């Protein structure tokens, strides 16, 4: 018998030999064995419910899923119903109803209470077979043990619930902290400056009206009182500016940093028209950043660059960008007085200065605010310098969505 | 015609009061500076009630200098009441305060302040600001027409 000979094939099918029958029975037995093994391995059991006779036949694997010994199942639909967890019974029955009304496969999940008191989750998947007239004949289907998945799902749900609770608690706490900070800065803004104005003002009155009766030392003291009051006012203003950067709203947008840097530099140049500073700004520097804060950032960085190059011949300030280990790093570099790297970590601490106010004026708030600005956008900021050779301030900003 | 140039200074801080009055007097712009120490007294003065019941309230100040942080009734509430009353709703009010907080500035203008001036710590600057204020509001600015008050 070959495939090329259809006649011989027809004969063989119509007239099976005893040997062919034996082969076929063996194949069936093997197939059933494979199915049984597969069902065991997959923790699946199958059933066939004959609607006409009412007899529901289960495989031993299905009985095992319900905690029954082989042959122990009552073979009726009612005996199945009794095995389903009472809490899930209504919806399991509803699924069967749906299957009775259609020819589509139906799925449902329910629990069974095992004889040892434990609970097992099952997934039932079944489908109605109908005769030529559309009358329901047999409901065929399988049950799968989904306890593990269900257990994980429930654990995940619980975890999610806990997480959500935690997040909402933290959000509330943050809101309270935010409001308290707001009230605090508000009262600072209103109350702390008035006494300084008094100190300054009355010292000034003494100087104006009574200076003739005072010695040089007394006059000097009065000037110091005045100067300190003004300095304290500047420190308070610096603190308030820092707080504003920290708590203000953030509206990042695509910003042309090259042009922001150029206008900040133009401001500095206008304030010191007698100076010739060589400015190099790379074109096409873009980032997603809050525009107002970007202006503050460059105002501060270029202000510093101008300030700390004031004693340098051929002052040069460069604004650019480079790649560092696949990350875009912006920088503002100058060839000014520089700093000792041993103190680099102090640069960003509010009110910490590496130069006295007589050398270079300032209260020490600019870089702290810059770091806040970069930090709030999810970037990092650091500095490199060398005494007498210049300083460079580096910062990263997260790439645009879609970039890299 | 205004013959009296009166400034109403609403200020609770004594030092600030002394300094402001001194700066205004040095600028020689006002005939008289009336000082009240809190929001309640300010309203009593403007509307002729309480301790100021006997006052002729048709004599409105030429300009009001208003601090925001005031005892009893706060500066913003004083401003709200001034604007809500037919008799004072056009009265020039300059907020003169320590705070440069954006919130204060925005609220002041929203409630109808005519100007907002932040008091500097440096007395030289403060004196200059007071002088400029006085010159502008008492001499340069055209006051709202005087109206019959009931």
pLDDT tens-digit series, residues B68-96: 988 888 999 999 999 999 999 999 999 99
Which residues of B fall below an 8 Å CB-CB distance to A? 13, 15-16, 18-19, 22, 68-69, 97-101, 103-104, 119-124, 126
Is the torsion defined by CA of B82, B88, B90, B92 positive or negative? negative
Report chain A residues whose CB lies below 8 A from the CB of B126. 197, 201
A32 — pLDDT class (breaks 50, 70, 90): confident
Report chain A residues whose CB lies below 8 A from the CB of B121. 193, 196-197, 200, 229-230, 232-233
For the cut 60, the answer to whether the pLDDT of residue B110 exceeds it is yes
Query: Would you mind telling me the total number of residues written for chain B in this entry?
Result: 150
Q: Which residue of B has its CA nearest to A189?
A: B99
For the cut 80, the answer to whether the pLDDT of residue A4 exceeds it is no
Q: What is the mean pLDDT of residues A224-250?
A: 85
User: What is the tens place of the pLDDT at every residue in A15-25?
Assistant: 667 788 888 88
For the cut 60, the answer to whether the pLDDT of residue A5 exceeds it is no
Backbone angles phi and psi of A186, in degrees to 5 = -65, -45
3-state secondary structure of A113: strand
Nearest to A198 among B15, B68, B100 (CB): B15
Range with lowest mean pLDDT among A1-5, A122-126, A349-353, B143-147: A1-5
A10 — pLDDT class (breaks 50, 70, 90): very low
**Token match 């940093």: residue?**
A257
Q: Are A381 and A370 in contact (CB under 8 A)?
A: yes
- Residue A314 vs residue A248, higher pLDDT: A314
Percent of chain A with pLDDT over 70: 95
Q: Which residue of B has its CA nearest to A225?
A: B122
Contact yes or no for A194 and B98 at CB 8 A? yes
Q: What is the mean pLDDT of residues A190-197?
A: 86
What pLDDT does residue A117 have? 86
Contact yes or no for A204 and B123 at CB 8 A? yes
Contacts (Cβ under 8 Å, ≥6 apart) of A108? A91, A92, A94, A95, A123, A124
Report chain B residues whose CB lies below 8 A from the CB of A225. none
Report chain B residues whose CB lies below 8 A from the CB of A233. 120-122
What pLDDT does residue B1 have? 44
What pLDDT does residue B147 have? 62
Contact yes or no for B15 and A232 at CB 8 A? no
Contact yes or no for B69 and A240 at CB 8 A? no
Q: Which residue of A has its CA nearest to B103?
A: A186
Nearest to B16 among A189, A197, A204 (CB): A197
Contact yes or no for B69 and A190 at CB 8 A? yes
Q: Which residues of B91-123 are buried (b: 16+ CB within 10 A; e: fewer)?
A: bbbbbbbbbebeebbebbeebebbbbbbbbbbb
- Residue B146 vs residue A127, higher pLDDT: A127
A404 — pLDDT class (breaks 50, 70, 90): very low
Report chain B residues whose CB lies below 8 A from the CB of A205. 22, 123
Both tokens assigned to A330? 């912006």
For the cut 70, the answer to whether the pLDDT of residue A12 exceeds it is no
Task: Give the Å distances, CA to CA, from A390 to A3, A38, A272, A371.
Answer: 90, 75, 20, 20
Q: Which segments of A282-372 are extended strands (E)?
A: 286-290, 316-324, 327-334
Backbone angles phi and psi of A249, in degrees to 5 = -75, 155
- Residue B4 vs residue A228, higher pLDDT: A228
A14 — pLDDT class (breaks 50, 70, 90): low
H-assigned helices in A43-102: 60-65, 77-83, 86-101
Distance (Å, whole) CA A51 – CA A135:
10
Contact yes or no for A202 and B103 at CB 8 A? no
Q: What is the mean pLDDT of residues B34-38?
A: 94
A2 — pLDDT class (breaks 50, 70, 90): very low
B5 — pLDDT class (breaks 50, 70, 90): confident
For the cut 70, the answer to whether the pLDDT of residue A325 exceeds it is yes
What pLDDT does residue B20 have? 92
For the cut 70, the answer to whether the pLDDT of residue A81 exceeds it is yes
What pLDDT does residue A250 have? 86
A329 — pLDDT class (breaks 50, 70, 90): very high
Range with lowest mean pLDDT among A154-158, A178-182, A315-319: A178-182
Distance (Å, whole) CA A228 – CA A222:
10
What pLDDT does residue A403 have? 57
For the cut 60, the answer to whether the pLDDT of residue B149 exceeds it is no
For the cut 50, the answer to whether the pLDDT of residue A45 exceeds it is yes
Contact yes or no for A189 and B101 at CB 8 A? yes
Nearest to B99 among A190, A202, A233 (CB): A190
Percent of chain A with pLDDT over 90: 54
Q: What angle do CA A227, A230, A236 make, to 5 degrees?
A: 140
Q: Which residue of B has its CA nearest to A194?
A: B98
What pLDDT does residue A249 have? 79
């Amino acid at each position: 018998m070959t495939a090329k000979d259809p006649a011989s094939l027809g004969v063989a099918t119509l007239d099976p030999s005893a040997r062919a029958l034996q082969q076929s029975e063996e194949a069936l037995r093997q197939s059933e064995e494979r199915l049984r093994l597969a069902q065991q391995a997959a923790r699946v059991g199958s059933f066939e419910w004959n609607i006409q006779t009412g007899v529901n036949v289960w495989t031993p694997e299905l009985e095992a899923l319900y905690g029954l010994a082989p042959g122990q199942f009552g073979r009726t639909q009612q005996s199945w119903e009794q095995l389903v967890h009472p809490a899930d019974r209504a919806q399991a029955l509803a699924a069967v109803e749906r299957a009775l009304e259609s020819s589509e496969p139906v799925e449902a999940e329910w629990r069974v209470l095992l004889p040892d008191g434990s609970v097992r989750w099952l997934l039932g998947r079944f489908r109605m077979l109908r005769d030529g007239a559309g009358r329901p004949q047999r409901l065929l289907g399988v049950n799968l043990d989904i306890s593990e998945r269900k257990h994980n799902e429930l654990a995940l749900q619980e975890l999610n619930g806990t997480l959500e609770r935690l997040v909402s608690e933290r959000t509330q706490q943050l809101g309270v902290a935010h409001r308290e900070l707001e009230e605090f800065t508000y009262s600072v803004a209103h109350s702390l400056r008035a006494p300084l104005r008094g100190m300054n003002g009355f010292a000034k009155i003494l100087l104006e009206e009574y200076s003739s009766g005072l010695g040089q030392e007394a006059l000097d003291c009065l000037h110091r009182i005045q100067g300190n009051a003004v300095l304290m006012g500047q420190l308070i203003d610096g603190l308030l500016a820092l707080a504003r950067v920290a708590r203000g709203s953030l509206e990042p947008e695509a910003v042309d940093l090259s042009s922001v840097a150029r206008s900040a530099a133009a401001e500095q140049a206008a304030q010191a028209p007698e100076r010739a500073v060589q400015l190099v700004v790379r074109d096409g520097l873009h980032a997603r950043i809050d525009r107002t804060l970007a202006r503050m950032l460059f105002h501060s960085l270029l202000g510093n660059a101008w300030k700390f190059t004031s004693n340098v011949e051929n002052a040069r300030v460069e604004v650019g960008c480079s790649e560092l280990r696949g990350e875009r790093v912006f920088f503002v570099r100058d060839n000014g007085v520089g700093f000792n790297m041993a103190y680099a970590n102090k640069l960003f601490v509010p009110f910490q200065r590496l130069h006295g106010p007589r050398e270079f004026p300032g209260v020490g708030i600019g870089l702290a605010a810059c770091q806040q600005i970069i930090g709030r956008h999810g970037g990092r900021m650091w500095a490199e310098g060398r005494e007498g050779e210049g300083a460079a301030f580096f910062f990263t900003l997260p790439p645009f969505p879609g970039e890299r | 015609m205004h013959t009296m140039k009166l400034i109403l200074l609403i200020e609770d801080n004594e030092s600030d009061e002394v300094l402001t009055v001194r700066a205004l007097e040095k600028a020689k712009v006002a005939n008289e500076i009336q000082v009240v120490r809190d929001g309640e007294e300010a309203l009593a003065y403007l509307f002729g009630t309480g301790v100021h019941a006997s006052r002729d309230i048709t004599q409105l100040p030429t300009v009001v200098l208003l601090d925001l942080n005031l005892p009893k009734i706060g500066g913003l509430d004083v401003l709200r009441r001034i604007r809500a009353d037919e008799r004072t709703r056009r009265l020039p009010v300059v907020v003169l305060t320590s705070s440069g907080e954006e919130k204060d500035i925005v609220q002041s203008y929203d409630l109808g302040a005519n100007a907002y001036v932040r008091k500097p710590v440096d007395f030289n600057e403060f004196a200059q600001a007071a002088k400029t204020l006085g010159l502008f509001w008492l001499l340069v600015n055209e006051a709202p027409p005087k109206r019959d008050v009931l």
